[in-house]
Structure 1
Amino acid sequence: MIKNYEFTHRRKNLLNGEWVLVSPHRNNRPWLGATEAPTETTPDRHDPSCPLCPNNTRANGDTNPNYEYTHAFINDFGALTPTLNDDARIDPDELFEAQAATGEARVICFSPEHNKTLPELSVNEISKVVTTWQQQFIDLSSRYSCIHIFENKGEIMGCSQPHPHGQIWAHNHRSTEIQAEDEHQLAFYEEHKRGLLAVYIEKEQTEQQRIVIENEHWIVVVPYWAKWPFETLLICKDTVQTIAQLDDSQSRTLAKVLKELTIRYDNVFNCSFPYSMGWHNAPLDLKDAKHWRLHAHFYPPLLRSASVKKHMVGYEMLAESQRDLTAETAAKILRDVPSIHYKD
């Protein structure tokens, strides 16, 4: 049964407990807000000044190898370091609480080609990215329990380097999002004896309104509780808790889904679609992670065109998230665009 959500209402995010206000009627208002002109230049395959290109020298003096597919290295300006200074000390205080934080931050170059983003890579090349994610996760998991794999794409998302790349931050404290998702998935499992995302997949398959892509092992939906205009949730359909557990078939089909989803994003406004995306793996200090399901979030900011983005300000900063485009409409737009990249 198709449900009509074209009225003002709130939706609850079952993964973290937050609410989002949905106001579809606001799509009809005239737009007089800020626009940001897209920079659709075509860079060269190799940029001699880029610190991520093969054979180039980085800020710390190291030289990148002549890599063929992916290249991972310790972030020269990492937000986390494995150790603290000898004089680091935090005095207990009820009002000014703090915790020491250590960890590692790494960069993963997706391709040696400076001018190709994920949707422009082949499935085989994206498979190499997935394999590198897994290898890095396995290595870091020997020392850290909370591992975040993510990508910021585009200047509009604060990406300082145009070369296609992502990052991994690893630490032993539970990040706020992982802690919230763990609590909500565990509470659902204890009540229903089934995983939250397993049941959610079935619900989306029944309604068929928010599914964008689905194959043997993966499903992409605009989540019912989406707050960003074209936000998507990529979920493994199998009982998998971390990216390290993916087998060859799951990894290969993931590469296909990543290519198609990012192509569809680019085709919405015929531009290199910016976003922040990241994997949520089960924290590795859990005694039992059966309530978890591996998934990734895509948060793109574009709203009406390649030059109009959603700003989380005012009510969103001071009250709760708000969106104008319903999740169902956003999913239909993503489904209806071609699956062949607009540049092709």
Structure 2
Amino acid sequence: MAPITKTVTSLADGRELIYFDDADTTLTGERAVDARMLDPRPPTATMRQDVLTGDWISVAAARQNRVFLPPAHQDPLAPATPENPSEIPSNYDVAVFENRSPSFGPELGEADVAGLGFERTAPSYGRCEVVCFSPEHEGSFGTQTPSRARTVIEAWADRTAALSALPGIRQVFPFENRGQEIGVTLPHPHGQIYAYPYITPRTQRLMASVSELGPDMFERLLERERASERMLLSGEHWTAFVPFAARWPLEVHMLPHRHVPDFAATNDAEREELSHLYLELLRGIDAVYDTPTPYIAAWHQAPVNEMRDEIRMSLQLTSPRRAADRLKFLAGSEAAMGAWIGDVPPESSAELVREGIARARASQSPESVEESSQTIEGIA
């Protein structure tokens, strides 16, 4: 099979556009020029520091103008047509481009984020990219083929390496928001990648934990979870489980067995297995109830230049769905104090997800089940 291929071009306003073609692509490789007349890009937003916590808040007012749930014929992530001059001028398998209204960027630089003070500001340097998983109008990562999933993973690895090399970038974060309940404004199957000018608060707390428990914290964590009743799926290179102290009604983490700080550090075997195991996990999550599950799939990666030998990359997938027709909303204790109360015991959640995985497997064709079983070992 031919390798996944990459083509770099640009949009009419100078933003970078990158095509990634599947290994089994049916596309010719020809790319149209973006002939639109576009307004200049919005100026880089400004961050403000919260003196109570030290957190940096990017105030990106240009995001207020983004498209909200467009019909298929006006989908800005679909391949362009004469009637729909979208963001992507050609048909594609996977496409990545710079966000038109980013939370960080388009300017790059070293932001002064050290220390604490009153009314401190700094430019929201960085970069935000959109990753389109498919040219189809509706779907998610979990609705893709294994070949397409492998292409997206390759794009994540490529962009993690490229963004990590940009001036001033401290951390790179690929993620997928799925479902209107999460706040998704485009049904098109896509995710995003944020390249931050600081290390995020969540990762700073993780760094403190690793410093206290030791550099082998993730190795010990994985050993414990693999032996627990919260185990979901395991292959040669990856394991998925419901964590011991899950906050959300549905929460699944996935860790690589080998220590790798980010996607760029994974090898071909790890990426290949992940393309199957991750699909099985997401399809199982969708089969927990009769309708698709809203979620945030967050790929936590080590900072660009700190603790890369201690912090292991991980998936942390969370869903607010606590029953078929009920959602968990963050109210006083969680939203105001950060003091979480779990609605579902993690062991019960793990059983729900295992049942969903079993239902998803049963609905697959025999050929798909055989292909998956050759790549991963499911624990049900």
Q: Percent identity?
A: 24
Task: Point out which structure has higher relative CO (alpha carbons under 8 A, 6+ apart).
Answer: 1
Q: 1:341 to 1:52 in 2, by over 3 A?
A: farther
State the Cα distance separating 1:145 from its structure 2 match: 2.6
Matched with 2:286 is 266
State the Cα distance separating 1:299 from its structure 2 match: 1.1
Aligned pairs for 1:179-198 within 5 A = 179-189=204-214, 194-198=215-219
Structure 2 Cα separation of the partners of residues 89 and 280 of structure 1: 23
Q: Secondary structure at the match of 2:299?
A: strand
Structure 1 Cα separation of the partners of residues 235 and 143 of structure 2: 20
Q: Does 1:222 align with 2:239?
A: no
Query: Is contact 1:231-1:297 (8 Å) kept?
Result: yes
Q: 1:58 to 1:137 in 2, by over 3 A?
A: farther
State the Cα distance separating 1:76 from its structure 2 match: 0.9
Q: 1:262 to 1:97 in 2, by over 3 A?
A: same
Q: Does 1:128 align with 2:151?
A: yes
Q: Does 1:150 align with 2:175?
A: yes
Structure 2 Cα separation of the partners of residues 222 and 196 of structure 1: 17
Structure 2 stretches of 5 or more lacking a match?
A: 1-68, 366-380
Q: Does 1:241 align with 2:264?
A: no
Residue among 331, 350, 363 paired with 1:313: 331
State the Cα distance separating 1:57 from its structure 2 match: 8.4
Matched with 2:19 is none
Matched with 2:199 is 174
Residue among 121, 124, 127 paired with 1:104: 127
Q: Does 1:302 align with 2:321?
A: yes
Query: Is contact 1:72-1:107 (8 Å) kept?
Result: yes
State the Cα distance separating 1:63 from its structure 2 match: 4.4
Structure 1 Cα separation of the partners of residues 185 and 134 of structure 2: 17
Structure 1 stretches of 5 or more lacking a match?
A: 1-42
Structure 2 Cα separation of the partners of residues 246 and 154 of structure 1: 29
Q: Secondary structure at the match of 1:322?
A: coil
State the Cα distance separating 1:278 from its structure 2 match: 1.2
Query: Is contact 1:57-1:63 (8 Å) kept?
Result: no
Q: 1:271 to 1:303 in 2, by over 3 A?
A: same
Deviation digits for residues 43-88 of structure 1, max 9, x if unmatched?
A: 9xx92210001125899x764132331101110111111338xxx9
Q: 1:69 to 1:221 in 2, by over 3 A?
A: same
Matched with 2:78 is 53
Structure 2 Cα separation of the partners of residues 58 and 93 of structure 1: 51
Q: Does 1:113 align with 2:136?
A: yes
Q: Secondary structure at the match of 2:272?
A: helix
Residue among 243, 254, 264 paired with 2:274: 254
State the Cα distance separating 1:135 from its structure 2 match: 1.1
Structure 1 Cα separation of the partners of residues 137 and 342 of structure 2: 35
Matched with 2:312 is 293
Structure 1 Cα separation of the partners of residues 151 and 291 of structure 2: 25
TM-score under structure 2 length normalisation: 0.70
Matched with 1:68 is 92
How many residues align structurally? Answer: 289
State the Cα distance separating 1:340 from its structure 2 match: 3.0
State the Cα distance separating 1:221 from its structure 2 match: 0.9
RMSD (CA atoms) = 2.8
Q: 1:57 to 1:299 in 2, by over 3 A?
A: farther
Structure 1 Cα separation of the partners of residues 132 and 226 of structure 2: 35
Structure 2 Cα separation of the partners of residues 76 and 66 of structure 1: 18
Query: Is contact 2:286-2:292 (8 Å) kept?
Result: yes
Matched with 2:224 is 203
Structure 2 Cα separation of the partners of residues 301 and 57 of structure 1: 40
Q: 1:108 to 1:56 in 2, by over 3 A?
A: farther
Matched with 2:54 is none
Q: Secondary structure at the match of 2:227?
A: helix
Matched with 1:34 is none
Q: Does 1:329 align with 2:348?
A: yes
Aligned pairs for 1:9-28 within 5 A = none
Query: Is contact 1:195-1:292 (8 Å) kept?
Result: no
Q: Secondary structure at the match of 2:309?
A: coil
TM-score under structure 1 length normalisation: 0.77
Q: Secondary structure at the match of 2:97?
A: strand
Structure 2 Cα separation of the partners of residues 146 and 222 of structure 1: 25
